[in-house]
C-alpha cells in the first residue's frame, strides 16, 4: 500500500510542478507572440496528444521533467510567415524573460503554497519541554543563565529562536537545521516557564550535532524532552487479541490503578505496562462512574530497548484535556503572505548555502535525495493530509526553481548566463562554445542523477 501511495504522490507532485514550470515558459512566450509548437509533460514517446490551436500538448511516460518547443531556425526550417515569431529572432531581453519565467513561476508557487498554509493557521502541541537531565545541552544553558533555576518540576515553552516567534516543534526543528546548515555554533532561545511565565534567554550549543547524520535525533541530543500532556488514562481503541480485549475492557474505560500503582495519567500507565512484560497484574478502572477490578494478562513486545509489556490500547484525546497545551495560531491573508515570503527566502538562502558547502566539501553529498526519496516523502505527505502535501509541494517547487537558476548549461540558468554575456558584449555567445557547454552540463546532470538515485537505493537498503 505504501508503494501505491508513493507512486501516486510522486506522479501528482511531479506532474503539477513540471506543469507549473513549463507553463511559465509557455505563458511568457505567448505574451511576446512567440510561436509554441509543443508543450510536453514528461519525456519519451507521447502516449496522449491534443492539438490546441498552433500548439500540440503531450503527455509522455517518463515523469521526470518536460519541455516547451518554440519555432526556432536553429532546429529546422521555419515558414516565412513565422520568421518574426521564431525564438532565435527575439531580442535577448525577451529570450531572457521567457527562459527565466519557468523557475520564477516555481518560486512564486512555493510562496503561494506557504502563504496558504499560514492562512489555514498553525495547529498542534506547543513546543513544551522538560529539562530535568542535568547533563543535557539545554539544561546546562538554562543553569548557566540562571544557576538558581529549579528544574525539578519545571515545564518550559520555547517562545522564540534568534528573534523569531516559535509556534510549533516543526519550527524548532527547522531552526536547528538552519543553524547546522549555516555552521552556527549555537542558537539563541527565549524560553518561558509554563507555570510561572518566568522568561530566560539562553544560548544552546549545536557543537554536538552532525549535519551529515540526519538520522540523529537532534532535538533529543540537545535535551529537548517534549512534555507529554497529563491526559487521563482513558481507552480509545483496543487491538484485537490484545491483553485489554482478553480482560473485556471497553472504549471509554478509565484506568485508575495497575499492579498496586495509582494511575493519574496516560504516561504513568505506559510506564507500569512497560516494565511488566508477560505478567498478570491487578487492574482497577472506572466505567460509567462505577469502579471495577480485573486481572490483566499483559503481553510483551520486543523494542530497541528490549522486551517490554504490551496492553494493546490507545489513549483517548479529549479536546478539554489538551486545550492548555494546544496552539491555534491564525494569520490574516497579508500576514500569511509576509510569513510565506520570509519562509521562502529563508529556504532559498539555506539551499544556496548547502550547495556551496557541498561544493567545497564541507558537507557530505550523501545529503542529496533523488526521485525515490521524493516518491516516499510524497506518499507519506498525501496520507498525512493536505497541509503536509502542500508544504512538500512548496519545498519541491522552490528547490526546482533554485536548481534551474544555477548557471549550468542545459538548465535554464545556463541559458540565462549566456544571455547575460550577450547583453554585455552585444552579440551571442559562439555556438560552438554553447555546444561544448551543453555537453559538459548534460554530463554533470546525468552524473548527479545517477548519484542521487544511488543515494536513494542505499537509503532503502539500509532502512
Regarding whether 203 and 256 lie in a shared domain, the answer is no
Q: Quick check: is 425 in a domain?
A: yes
Regarding whether 275 and 190 lie in a shared domain, the answer is no
Regarding whether 224 and 153 lie in a shared domain, the answer is yes
Residue 243: burial class (beta carbons within 10 Å; 0-12, 13-18, 19+):
buried
Regarding whether 370 and 412 lie in a shared domain, the answer is yes
Give the domain range for residue 277: 235-316
Regarding whether 136 and 103 lie in a shared domain, the answer is no
Query: Strand ranges (DSSP E) for 251-381?
Result: 254-258, 261-262, 280-287, 290-297, 299-303, 306-310, 313-315, 326-329
Q: How many structural domains comprise the chain?
A: 3
Q: Quick check: is 48 in a domain?
A: no
Q: Quick check: is 65 in a domain?
A: no
User: Residue 270 sits in a domain of what CATH number?
Assistant: 2.30.42.10
- pLDDT score of 458: 59
Q: Which DSSP string corresponds to 119-140?
A: HH-EEEE--EEE---TTSHHHH
Q: Which of 22, 184, 323, 431 is catalytic?
A: 22
Q: Quick check: is 417 in a domain?
A: yes
Q: Quick check: is 399 in a domain?
A: yes
Give the residue from 261, 285, 316 where a domain finishes.
Answer: 316
Residue 164: burial class (beta carbons within 10 Å; 0-12, 13-18, 19+):
exposed
Q: CB of 414 within 8 A of CB of 442?
A: no
Regarding whether 244 and 212 lie in a shared domain, the answer is no
Q: CB of 236 within 8 A of CB of 314?
A: yes
Interacting residues of 99 by C-beta distance below 8 A, sequence separation 6+: 25, 412, 415, 416, 419
Q: Quick check: is 76 in a domain?
A: no
- pLDDT score of 345: 94
Euclidean distance between CA atoms 147 and 304, whole angstroms: 36
Give the residue from 316, 340, 372 where a domain finishes.
Answer: 316
Rounded to 5°, angle at Cα 177 from 171 and 183:
140
Regarding whether 243 and 187 lie in a shared domain, the answer is no
The β-bridge partners of 81 are none
The β-bridge partners of 40 are 58, 67
Q: Which DSSP string corresponds to 316-350?
A: ---HHHHGGGEEEE---HHHHHHHHHHHHHHHHHH
- pLDDT score of 463: 47
Regarding whether 371 and 444 lie in a shared domain, the answer is yes
Regarding whether 376 and 456 lie in a shared domain, the answer is yes
The pLDDT profile of the chain, 463 residues, written as one tens digit per residue, is: 678 888 888 888 889 999 999 999 999 999 999 999 999 998 889 999 999 999 999 999 988 889 999 999 988 888 999 999 999 999 999 999 999 999 999 999 999 999 999 998 888 889 999 887 778 888 888 888 877 777 766 889 999 999 999 998 889 998 998 998 898 999 999 999 888 888 889 999 998 888 887 677 888 889 888 888 889 999 999 999 999 999 999 999 999 999 999 999 999 999 999 999 999 999 999 999 999 999 999 999 888 778 999 999 999 988 888 888 888 888 999 999 999 999 999 999 988 888 888 888 887 777 777 677 777 778 888 888 888 899 989 999 999 999 899 998 888 999 999 999 999 998 888 888 888 888 888 787 777 777 666 665 655 555 4
Regarding whether 428 and 382 lie in a shared domain, the answer is yes
Regarding whether 106 and 141 lie in a shared domain, the answer is no
Give the residue from 316, 347, 363 where a domain finishes.
Answer: 316
- pLDDT score of 188: 94
Q: Quick check: is 131 in a domain?
A: yes
Euclidean distance between CA atoms 86 and 73, whole angstroms: 7
22 in catalytic set: yes
Regarding whether 440 and 429 lie in a shared domain, the answer is yes
Q: Quick check: is 55 in a domain?
A: no
Closest by CA to 12, choosing from 404, 377, 340, 367, is 377
Q: CB of 309 within 8 A of CB of 299?
A: yes
Amino acid at each position: 500500500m505504501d508503494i501505491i501511495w508513493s507512486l501516486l504522490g510522486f506522479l501528482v507532485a511531479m506532474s503539477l510542478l513540471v506543469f507549473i514550470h513549463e507553463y511559465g515558459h509557455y505563458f511568457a512566450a505567448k505574451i511576446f507572440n512567440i510561436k509554441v509548437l509543443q508543450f510536453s509533460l514528461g519525456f519519451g514517446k507521447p502516449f496522449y496528444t491534443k492539438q490546441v490551436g498552433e500548439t500540440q500538448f503531450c503527455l509522455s511516460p517518463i515523469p521526470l521533467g518536460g519541455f516547451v518547443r518554440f519555432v526556432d531556425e536553429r532546429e529546422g526550417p521555419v515558414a516565412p510567415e513565422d520568421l518574426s515569431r521564431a525564438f532565435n529572432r527575439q531580442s535577448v531581453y525577451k529570450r531572457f524573460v521567457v527562459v527565466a519565467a519557468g523557475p520564477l513561476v516555481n518560486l512564486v508557487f512555493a510562496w503561494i503554497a506557504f502563504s496558504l498554509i499560514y492562512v489555514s493557521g498553525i495547529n498542534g502541541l506547543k513546543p513544551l519541554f522538560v529539562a530535568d537531565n542535568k547533563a543535557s545541552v539545554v539544561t546546562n544553558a538554562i543553569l548557566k543563565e540562571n544557576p538558581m533555576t529549579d528544574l525539578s518540576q519545571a515545564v518550559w515553552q520555547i517562545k522564540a529562536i534568534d528573534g523569531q516567534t516559535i509556534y510549533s516543534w516543526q519550527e524548532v526543528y527547522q531552526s536547528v537545521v538552519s543553524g547546522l546548515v549555516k555552521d552556527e555554533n549555537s542558537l539563541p532561545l527565549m524560553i518561558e516557564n509554563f507555570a510561572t511565565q518566568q522568561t530566560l534567554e539562553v544560548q544552546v550549543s549545536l557543537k554536538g550535532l552532525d549535519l551529515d547524520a540526519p538520522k540523529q535525533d537532534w532535538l533529543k541530543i540537545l535535551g529537548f524532552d517534549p512534555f507529554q500532556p497529563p491526559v487521563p488514562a482513558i481507552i480509545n481503541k483496543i487491538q484485537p487479541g490484545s491483553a485489554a480485549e482478553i480482560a473485556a475492557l471497553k472504549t471509554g474505560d478509565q484506568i485508575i490503578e495497575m499492579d498496586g500503582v495509582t494511575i493519574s495519567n496516560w504516561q504513568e500507565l505506559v510506564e507500569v505496562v512497560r516494565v511488566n512484560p508477560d505478567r498478570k497484574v491487578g487492574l482497577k478502572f472506572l466505567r460509567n462512574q462505577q469502579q471495577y477490578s480485573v486481572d490483566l494478562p499483559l503481553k510483551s513486545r520486543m523494542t530497541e530497548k528490549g522486551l517490554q509489556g504490551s496492553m494493546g490500547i490507545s489513549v483517548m484525546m479529549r479536546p478539554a484535556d489538551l486545550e492548555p497545551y494546544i496552539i491555534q495560531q491564525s494569520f490574516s491573508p497579508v500576514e500569511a503572505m509576509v510569513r510565506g515570503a520570509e519562509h521562502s527566502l529563508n529556504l532559498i538562502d539555506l539551499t544556496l548555502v548547502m550547495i556551496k558547502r557541498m561544493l567545497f566539501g564541507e558537507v557530505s553529498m550523501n545529503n542529496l535525495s533523488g526521485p525515490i526519496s521524493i516518491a516516499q516523502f510524497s506518499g507519506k505527505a498525501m496520507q498525512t493530509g493536505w497541509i503536509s502535501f502542500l508544504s512538500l509541494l512548496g519545498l519541491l517547487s522552490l528547490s526546482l526553481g533554485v536548481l534551474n537558476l544555477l548557471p549550468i548549461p542545459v538548465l535554464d540558468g545556463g541559458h540565462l548566463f549566456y544571455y547575460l554575456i550577450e547583453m554585455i558584449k552585444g552579440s551571442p555567445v559562439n555556438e560552438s562554445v554553447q555546444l561544448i557547454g551543453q555537453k559538459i552540463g548534460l554530463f554533470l546532470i546525468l552524473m548527479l542523477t545517477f548519484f542521487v538515485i544511488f543515494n536513494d537505493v542505499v537509503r532503502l537498503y539500509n532502512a
